[in-house]
């Protein structure tokens, strides 16, 4: 049997470059190796954990996310793309898992801590939000996923999932659940893409995103107004690479060949950086280079997106078929989980003892 891969995204908006480099690009590569069974989930229920009073937003973004997937190169014939809310096992498993996780453990999760701060929840945070790492462990384990391609902000989630798996298998003396591992992007600059404003994370709520669907003009404008080095005032001033968004993006997206093709005076990115540090290389020139690289990357994605957008029926049909398959696979795991706990009273061998 092939190893299984699972990931997901919350449909709270269309997907941005952070999603693309952090995970989406990896998924397309993995899909095309033919070595894995890949599942990709639109996490509409997780999106409700902090949007319960705005389900319309989630509904509106379901097909947006699907379009981004297809535009980036996911193929429903090769990857099972499904919707979380359509899979009953994902609601039952968290009930069993939540008994294996302590409150203090949940409170220590750095991703959750950070998100709580970001949303200003304090003590008024929804219980569902607090426990979403448990639900996410269910998403992963229901499919017995061994690999989860994510950005590094999701590592605490995987740690939590592994702990649940090992507790479950130990307590119920079984090997039903599989411990998942992260697949991080190869290029380190991609694990967590900074926002266009230099903030540590590209995030919709911070308003510092480049979206996969941004048109040429919007993309250019976002790049031209990127945060650079506030001390680099005149072109001749020495500049800083560290904390400079334009260079963070060049690290993530530009190859040495891109640099020397567009700016032949440099053999590669390192030489360009040296010049910037010495002084004499202007921000505008760097931004223009970045703009060319990004336009090249995003144009084909945007064009495919526009094509797929013409056929809503195909999008819905693919999601519905993917969800049916996901239901089948996860129901099987659910059956094994129930049997391991011993609550499968009316099926299997236990039936004889009642």
- Span interacting with ligand TRP, options 5-13, 95-103, 116-124, 315-323, rule CB under 6 A: 5-13
- Other C-beta atoms closer than 10 Å to the C-beta of 81 total 26
What residues numbered 31-50 form the site for ligand TRP, per CB under 6 A? 43, 46
148 binds ligand TRP, rule: CB under 6 A: yes
Interface with ligand TRP (CB under 6 A), residue total: 13
Residue from 38, 86, 136, 318 in contact with ligand TRP (CB under 6 A): 136
Helix, strand, coil share (%) of the chain residues, nearest 5:
60, 10, 35
CB of 10 to ligand TRP, least distance (A): 5
Residue from 50, 64, 68, 139 in contact with ligand TRP (CB under 6 A): 139
214 binds ligand TRP, rule: CB under 6 A: no
42's tokens? 């639109």
CB of 176 to ligand TRP, least distance (A): 18
Nearer to ligand TRP, 115 or 214 (CB): 115
287 binds ligand TRP, rule: CB under 6 A: no
140 binds ligand TRP, rule: CB under 6 A: yes
CB of 52 to ligand TRP, least distance (A): 16
CB of 137 to ligand TRP, least distance (A): 8
Phi, psi of 193 (to 5 degrees): -80, 130
Residue from 4, 5, 9, 71 in contact with ligand TRP (CB under 6 A): 9
21's tokens? 């480099």
68 binds ligand TRP, rule: CB under 6 A: no
Q: Of the candidates 188, 141, 150, which has an alpha carbon nearest to the alpha carbon of residue 334?
A: 141
Q: Which residues bind ligand TRP (CB under 6 A)?
A: 6-10, 43, 46, 136, 139-140, 148, 150, 154
């Amino acid at each position: 049997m092939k190893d299984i891969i699972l990931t997901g995204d919350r449909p709270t908006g269309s997907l941005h470059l952070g999603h693309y480099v952090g995970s989406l690009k990896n998924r397309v590569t993995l899909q095309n190796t033919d070595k894995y069974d890949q599942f990709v989930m639109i996490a509409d229920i997780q999106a409700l954990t902090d949007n319960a009073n705005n389900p319309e937003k989630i509904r509106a973004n379901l097909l947006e996310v699907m379009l981004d997937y297809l535009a980036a190169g996911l193929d429903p014939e090769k990857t099972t793309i499904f919707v979380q809310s359509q899979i009953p096992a994902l609601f039952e498993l968290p009930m069993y898992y939540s008994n294996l996780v302590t409150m203090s453990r949940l409170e220590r999760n750095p991703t959750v801590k950070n998100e709580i701060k970001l949303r200003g929840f304090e003590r008024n945070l929804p219980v569902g939000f607090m426990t979403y790492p448990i639900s996410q462990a269910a998403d992963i384990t229901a499919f017995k996923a061994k690999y989860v391609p994510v950005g590094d902000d999701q590592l605490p989630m995987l740690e939590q999932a592994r702990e649940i798996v090992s507790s479950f298998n130990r307590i119920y003396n079984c090997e039903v659940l599989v411990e998942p591992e992260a697949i991080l992007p190869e290029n380190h600059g991609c694990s967590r893409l900074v926002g266009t404003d230099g903030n540590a994370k590209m995030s919709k709520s911070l308003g510092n995103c480049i979206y996969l669907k941004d048109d040429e003009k919007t993309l250019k404008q976002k790049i031209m107004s990127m945060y650079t080095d506030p001390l680099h005032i005149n072109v001749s001033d020495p500049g800083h690479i560290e904390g400079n968004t334009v260079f963070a993006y060049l690290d993530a997206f530009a190859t040495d060949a891109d640099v020397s093709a567009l700016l032949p005076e440099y053999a590669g990115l390192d030489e360009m950086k040296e010049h910037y540090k010495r002084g004499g290389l202007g921000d505008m020139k760097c931004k223009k280079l970045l703009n060319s690289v990004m336009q090249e990357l995003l144009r084909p994605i945007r064009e495919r997106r526009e094509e797929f957008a013409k056929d809503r029926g195909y999008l819905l049909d693919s999601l519905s078929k993917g969800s049916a398959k996901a239901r089948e696979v996860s129901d099987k795991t659910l059956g094994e989980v129930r049997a391991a706990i011993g609550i499968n009273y009316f099926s299997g061998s236990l039936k004889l003892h009642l």
